[in-house]
Amino acid sequence: MSAAGLRLSVLIPVYNEATTIEHVVDRVRRIPASTEIIAIDDASGDGSGDVLERLHAAGKIHHLAAIRSGIAHATGDVVVIQDADLEYDPLDLPTLLGPIADGRADAVFGSRFQGGPHRVLYFWHSVGNSVLTLLSNMFTNLNLTDMETCYKVVRTELLKRLPLRSNRFGFEVEITARLSQAGARIWELPISYSGRTYAEGKKITWRDGFAAIFHVLRYNLFPPGGDWRRK
């Protein structure tokens, strides 16, 4: 099967992104793939919800309330999370679909640190990402270069089987841990990245980094029971 033959469900979590969300939706709608868009409003207070309702009324998106409800409603062959800012380029998504379409992968991570074009920004952010990825790799026994990447393309059937609990920043850590625990075949490909400055609306802080360390320990040391792992 070619990548063009896969239907893609794009989940877009939104928190105070009224100035960018419509641009992101338009970019996703331009990618050369059959796509459904599910936007998730996380109690935004800047009018993002009004923008999403307008896009929903125009038939451009579905509008739900949580990442896990978005996963449950996804009807595509594969699912990916798309941040509501302009840091990740949806035009990278067809390339990420390739290993899944070829039957080589169950999930594909888009790495910001494998040599793709990227905006030069904060040194300590890259150090923090490296530390979190290293810590996660020590538990999962994966050799990822970018565990915290937003772009994780996963077969829908597998994703719906994973016992996910997180709806916010812990999601990246949890899905990586659960994919490893399920024995998923994971590939990693380079993507472009246009990071924002804090003046431009970036929200991640050092507190989120410490929270991520807690999530790495939590989701790797205490996996849920049940028969969800691959036999």
The span from the CA of 53 to the CA of 63, in Å, is 7
Neighbours of 113 (CB within 10 A): 18
For residue 9, what are the β-bridge partners?
Answer: 36, 79
The span from the CA of 14 to the CA of 214, in Å, is 24
Nearest in space to 29 (alpha carbons), one of 92, 90, 101: 90
DSSP string of 119-171, one letter each residue: ----HHHHHHHHHHHHHHHHHH----S-TT-S-EEEEHHHHHHS-----STTH
- Give all domains of the chain, ordered by start, each with its CATH number: 3-221 (3.90.550.10)
Tell me the pTM: 0.91
User: Can you give the pLDDT of all 231 residues of the chain as single tens digits?
Assistant: 656 689 999 999 888 888 999 999 999 999 988 899 999 887 788 888 889 999 999 988 887 767 888 899 999 999 999 988 889 999 999 999 999 999 999 999 999 999 888 888 788 888 989 999 999 999 999 999 999 999 999 999 999 999 998 866 789 999 999 999 999 999 999 999 988 677 766 667 778 888 889 999 999 999 998 888 865
